[in-house]
């Protein structure tokens, strides 16, 4: 292998190793291994995370918790297009009791667009699926036949000739609703009191929504990856924001560092770290010392400017100013010949 080709190999390989090592330095395994408290909930772990309480890299991107500082209040879960009050959590069975945060004291919150649970993450458990039904709340709707709107009207002020109401799935297949400013779909118990389907039943509806609903949670597209990560003694998490997509899965390893899916055996990791250190030190020396000196030692290029990276900035240095390095001596010392 010619010397120029060898230099190129070290240059690009050391760049690659540096980028990998940089990701490893960002993640602290102990941060992800230590449970955290958030609001009224204690000893939480993956998939949950919270700004200021647990690094994003230690959780699932769709399970962010808010309001952790309020120890007397339930935390708020951002697991879908809805904000959910986390009433109860069982991480052993992966079940949650959640309620609509914006409906804690009203059935007429500001609503635009359509919002519903992300069923790939939160869904009725197989044993509980028959015990739930979907409730849809309609806001600011125009209809072609107002007489067909159910009695379950809401007293929301949404505009002239607009109505707001709620209904079950049976109504959806028969409705004359043309357009609405907003819709919210949320599961409620199938055995909810019959009183919620009557006229002027907002108070009864409020009680059902405040009680929340039991759902199971999963990891979505992370599920298989997380299982493999755990089998290698790693901790499931998310890639550091500085490296690639912030939604990339990452497996954080007890020996240090992170991997895309599984952790290597401890012995293999030690060998890898030693190789990283060797390549980094050798590659850095060649990139920043030997290469510039060889470049400047060429008599035809002695007046050229060599660009060096210093603290993430590029600075130009005249080749003549490198005379103090004694180019010829360096070439001789490292057996570098023309």
Residue pLDDT, tens place only, 33-58: 999 999 999 999 999 999 999 999 99
Residue range of the domain that includes 147: 104-206
Length of the chain: 338
Name 262's Cβ contacts closer than 8 Å, sequence gap at least 6.
228, 229, 231, 232, 234, 251
Closest CA to 55 of 231, 238, 202: 238
In order of 37, 111, 151, 193, the CA distances from 184 in angstroms are: 30, 8, 18, 20
Closest CA to 169 of 135, 198, 118, 197: 135
Characterize 103-135 residue by residue with b for buried, 16 or more Cβ atoms within 10 angstroms of its Cβ, and e for exposed.
beeebbbebeeebebeeebbbbeeebeeebeeb
Tell me how far apart the alpha carbons of residues 48 and 43 are, in angstroms, rounded to a whole number: 11
Same domain, 110 and 195: yes
* Statement: the pTM of the whole predicted model exceeds 0.75: no
Same domain, 121 and 165: yes
Same domain, 202 and 132: yes
**62 occurs within a structural domain:** no
**302 occurs within a structural domain:** yes
Closest CA to 32 of 225, 261, 238, 270: 238
Same domain, 120 and 201: yes
pLDDT of residue 317: 44
Tell me how far apart the alpha carbons of residues 331 and 297 are, in angstroms, rounded to a whole number: 9
pLDDT of residue 327: 42
Q: pLDDT averaged over the chain?
A: 75
pLDDT of residue 176: 59
Same domain, 235 and 202: no
């Amino acid at each position: 292998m010619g010397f120029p080709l060898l230099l190129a190999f070290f240059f690009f390989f050391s760049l690659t190793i540096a980028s990998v090592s940089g990701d490893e330095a960002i993640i602290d395994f102990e941060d992800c291994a230590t449970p955290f408290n958030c609001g009224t909930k204690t000893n939480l772990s993956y998939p949950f995370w919270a700004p200021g309480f647990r690094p994003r890299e230690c959780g699932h991107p769709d399970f962010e918790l808010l309001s952790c500082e309020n120890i007397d209040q339930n935390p708020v879960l951002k697991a879908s297009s809805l904000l959910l009050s986390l009433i109860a959590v069982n991480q052993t069975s992966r079940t949650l009791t959640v309620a609509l945060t914006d409906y804690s004291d009203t059935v007429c919150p500001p609503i635009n667009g359509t919002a519903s649970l992300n069923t790939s993450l939160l869904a009725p458990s197989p044993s509980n699926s028959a015990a739930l039904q979907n409730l849809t709340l309609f806001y600011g709707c125009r209809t072609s036949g107002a007489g067909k709107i159910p009695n379950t009207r809401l007293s929301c002020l949404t505009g002239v000739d607009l109505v707001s109401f709620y209904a079950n799935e049976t109504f959806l297949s028969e409705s004359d609703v043309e357009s609405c400013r907003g819709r919210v779909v949320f599961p409620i118990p199938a055995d909810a009191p019959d009183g919620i389907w009557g006229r002027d039943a907002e108070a009864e509806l409020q009680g059902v929504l405040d009680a929340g609903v039991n759902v199971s949670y999963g990891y979505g597209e992370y599920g298989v990856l997380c299982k493999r990560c755990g089998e290698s003694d790693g901790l499931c998490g998310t890639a550091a924001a500085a490296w690639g997509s912030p939604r990339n899965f990452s497996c954080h390893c007890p020996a240090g560092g992170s991997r895309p899916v599984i952790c290597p055996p401890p012995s293999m990791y030690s060998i890898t770290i030693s190789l990283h250190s060797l390549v980094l030190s050798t590659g850095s020396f060649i990139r920043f010392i030997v290469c510039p000196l060889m470049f400047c030692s060429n008599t035809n290029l002695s007046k050229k400017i060599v660009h060096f990276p210093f603290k993430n900035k590029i600075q130009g240095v005249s080749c003549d100013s490198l005379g103090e390095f004694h180019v010829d001596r360096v070439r001789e010392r490292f057996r570098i010949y023309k």
